[in-house]
Structure 1
Amino acid sequence: MTPFQLIKSDLSRQTGCYSNKLLIKNLLNSNRSFKYIFWWRLTNSNRLVTRIFARYMHSRLSIKYQIQIPKEAKIGAGLNLGHATGIVISPSVEIGINCNISQFVNIGSNHGKAALIGDNVYIGPMVCIVENVVIGNNVTIGAGSIVVKNIEQDSTAVGNPCRIVHKNDPARYIKNKYYA
């Protein structure tokens, strides 16, 4: 997908629809989540001028909003950053489509490869996902959890260390899903 197609999917996840008017409104108003995602997506643009300006804006917004998502991170369509503050993601992470990432989330590794996160995953506030774990599709990770082991698909997991508590209605917090 092109960066612009990814941007359209991200905006439709946040607002429920897409239009050029809505795009401009969300860039100019105080929707810092979308503003950050917009410039982050353009850091990998094929156009040199766009890429240079996007990287400048990305670095400014990273400082302003205290979000560190490197341009090398592989994140699928339909990304939604909850309150868009205090988020740190490793460059080696791979995240599927329709992922919600809440505030104060850390996804990283001290030894190379970070997490592989599936589609339709909700990551609650203050979650730490450590090292090379695999999180399946349709998963909800509760607030304050520390994930150090794999989480199977279609489940809800909470705690420190994180453990599966049930398999009823996983990923129920994923609204306005983007379908590729």
Structure 2
Amino acid sequence: MKELFRYVISDYYRYTGINGSAISIIKYLFFGRNHCFNYCFWLRFASRKNVLFPLALFMHKRLTVKYGIQIPRTTRIGYGFYIGHGIGIVINGGTTIGNNVNISQFLSIGSNKGTPAVIGDNVYIGPNVCIVEDVHIGNNVTIGAGAVVIKDIPENATVAGVPAKVLNYDMPERYIRHKYNLCQR
């Protein structure tokens, strides 16, 4: 349960830039009017058995339908997950997502072969991106809007286009604000 709270605290930090207490997180959950954080909160609690598990399952399913965000409970997501504009997101349940990852609206991460993507740490994924099959996305990567990723992306790269190609290696993680440091408390 302690580890689960650490995930929630890391997500809260990514949204607000504040190391929050349980009370501040609950206030933000109910009065912050941020449906993306609410989705992350209930997804975290629905992903593991805990005292809130039945309620979390209900809320996760409700918010999935309401906002069109389909992130299965089986998706492995690191610390500091951030959904920029939560609508129209579909992620394969076997996907692995690293720490401090930003995702945007109309994202698809899928696989026909059963081996979906592995996404590194400090990755920004822009709107309308498709990530197809078992690609590996390195750390500190920016994927531009509308990109179709069908091949591995090296670390520290900025990519865009159809199919996605490396544009440069200049400041690739510039869109990752409020990075959660794993040593943070």
Q: Into which bin does the TM-score normalised by the smaller protein fall? A: over 0.9
The corresponding residue for 1:116 is: 118
Match for 2:147: what amino acid?
Answer: S
**What per-residue deviation string (whole Å, max 9, x for no partner) do you get for residues 64-100 of structure 1?**
0110000000010100000111111000100110000
CA–CA distance in structure 2, aligned partners of residues 8 and 108 of structure 1 = 28
From 66, 73, 79, the equivalent of 1:64 is 66
User: 1:3–1:44: 8 Å Cα contact kept in structure 2?
Assistant: no
User: 1:110–1:131: 8 Å Cα contact kept in structure 2?
Assistant: yes
Q: Which runs of 5+ in 1 are unaligned?
A: none
SS at match of 2:159: strand
Aligned length: 179
From 86, 89, 106, the equivalent of 1:87 is 89
Match for 1:10: what amino acid?
Answer: D
Match for 1:41: what amino acid?
Answer: R
CA–CA distance in structure 2, aligned partners of residues 8 and 160 of structure 1 = 36
CA–CA distance in structure 1, aligned partners of residues 47 and 129 of structure 2 = 27
The corresponding residue for 1:152 is: 154
Q: Which runs of 5+ in 2 are unaligned?
A: none
The corresponding residue for 1:134 is: 136
CA–CA distance in structure 1, aligned partners of residues 25 and 52 of structure 2 = 17
SS at match of 2:5: helix
The corresponding residue for 2:103 is: 101
Pairwise CA distance, 1:51: 1.1
1:163 aligns with 2:177: no
